A and B are shown apart, each in its own frame.
Chain A
Amino acid sequence: AQSVTQPDIHITVSEGASLELRCNYSYGATPYLFWYVQSPGQGLQLLLKYFSGDTLVQGIKGFEAEFKRSQSSFNLRKPSVHWSDAAEYFCAVGGMEYGNKLVFGAGTILRVKS
C-alpha cells in the first residue's frame, strides 16, 4: 500500500533542545517528499522538500530533513527548538504513482515546554 506513517502523535521537547520528527513512507519508486507545518486553525506551510540529489535538505525556520532510501524515511530535524515551533507537522509524499496529488501522514503535534 502507498502510505505515509508518522509514528509519533505527540512529542514534547524543552525549548532549546534538539528535535527529530519521524516519517516513513511506502513507495515503490523514488518518492518526492515534503514536510509541512500547520499552526492551530491555519493552513499548511511548506517547510522543505526533497526531489533528488543531496539527501540532506535544508528548509525554512532552521529545519532540515534527511532522505534515507534504505530505511524509507524522511525525518525532520532542528538543532534547537523555539517556543514558536509548537505546531503540527505533516510529512507528505508524491510521485508518478500518486498522480498529481500528495498523500499526507496523520501528523505529529509538537509541544515546546519552557
Chain B
Amino acid sequence: DTGVSQNPRHKITKRGQNVTFRCDPISEHNRLYWYRQTLGQGPEFLTYFQNEAQLEKSRLLSDRFSAERPKGSFSTLEIQRTEQGDSAMYLCASSWPRDSENPGNTIYFGEGSWLTVV
C-alpha cells in the first residue's frame, strides 16, 4: 500500500508566477482533499473531490486557485499570480467512501508540498 504522494515537495517562486502541485492518492481511494497549512496552524480545508467531481470548495479557495482531478485518479492544484500570502504547505489527502466501515471519513495525508513565494 503506497501512501499519498505529492510533488514537488518544495517550490520557491517569485510573486506573480504560477505554480502547480500534483497529488497521487492511495490507489483504491475515490475521495481526494486539498488542505493548506501555515506555520503555527492546523490544516485548513480547501477542496474535495469524489472521483473526478469537485464537490466542495472552501471560501479560502480564491479565484487564483484551481484544482482538477480529470480522470478520478491524480489531482493538480494550480495557483495563478502567486502572492506572498500563498506561502504555506499544501497537503493532499485521500479516503475511501464514507460507509458503515468508514462512517467518520478517515483521511490519509501525503507529505505535503511547501510553497515559498518571494
Contacts and interface: CB of A to CB of B under 8 A. Distances in A.
29 contacts: A4-B42, A32-B103, A32-B105, A33-B104, A34-B106, A41-B112, A43-B110, A43-B111, A43-B112, A44-B91, A44-B109, A45-B109, A46-B106, A49-B106, A50-B104, A51-B104, A90-B43, A94-B105, A95-B104, A100-B48, A100-B50, A101-B48, A101-B56, A102-B45, A103-B45, A104-B42, A104-B44, A106-B41, A107-B41
Q: In which size bucket is the chain A interface?
A: 20 to 34
Given A42-B112, A100-B105, 9 more contacts: A32-B105, A34-B104, A43-B111, A43-B112, A49-B106, A51-B103, A51-B104, A100-B48, A104-B42
B92 to A, nearest CB: 9
B114 interface: yes
Interface in B14-70: 31, 33, 40-45, 48, 50, 55-56
A100 B55 contact: yes
Interface residues of B, number: 27
Give the one of B33, B41, B42, B44 with max A CB within 10 A. Answer: B42
Give the one of A44, A52, A90 with max B CB within 10 A. Answer: A44
B81 interface: no
Contacts of A63: none
Given A43-B91, A100-B98, A101-B56, A106 B40 contact: yes
Interface in A72-114: 90, 92, 94-95, 99-107
A45 B31 CA distance: 18
Interface of B: 4, 6, 31, 33, 40-45, 48, 50, 55-56, 91, 98, 103-112, 114
Contacts of B40: 106-107
A101 B110 contact: no
A27 B39 CA distance: 26
A85 B55 CA distance: 36
Contacts of B6: 43
A77 to B, nearest CB: 20
Give the one of B50, B55, B103 with max A CB within 10 A. Answer: B103
Nearest to B110: A43
Given A46-B106, A106-B42, A100 B31 contact: yes
